[in-house]
Amino acid sequence: TNLTVRMRAVQEMLDKIHVLFVQMVKDRRGGRLSGEEDDLFNGAFWIAGDAMDHGLIDRTGDLRALLQERFGEGVKSQTIETEKKGFLTRLLGADAGSLLDPSAMIAHFEKAGLWARFGR
């Protein structure tokens, strides 16, 4: 069917992207990589410690701290907002409409509790 043809085309494109991604990582990480290629590039997600053990990353941190380390404390960085947030969104992390829905409120506070417990 037409859908099957499109799905095959998408899969072929994803396979090509995967090959390019693997080659780029190998070119940039080189001898720092450790582990079998099938394990490193199987599409799995890595937590930071495991990624460091396999040479996929050098360390953990945030962009602002890295910029300050490289260019000094006076470096300026600008955050670019992708969408304008209203007062309630900035205050509570939810839009005003969802505050009227009790289940949405509960879900919001459960999520906030999980982030508070396990970190961001």
What is the model's pTM? 0.54
Please enumerate in sequence order all residues whose Cβ is within 8 A of that of 48, keeping only pairs 6 or more positions apart, or say none: 57, 60
Radius of gyration of the chain (CA): 21
Question: Quick one: pLDDT at residue 64?
Answer: 86
Distance of CA 76 to the CA centre of its chain: 23
Amino acid at the residue 51: A
Q: Tens digit of pLDDT for each residue in 66-113?
A: 899 999 999 988 877 777 766 666 666 655 555 566 677 677 777 777
Short-list 60, 25, 58, CA closest to 40: 25
Q: Tens digit of pLDDT for each residue in 14-28?
A: 999 999 999 999 999
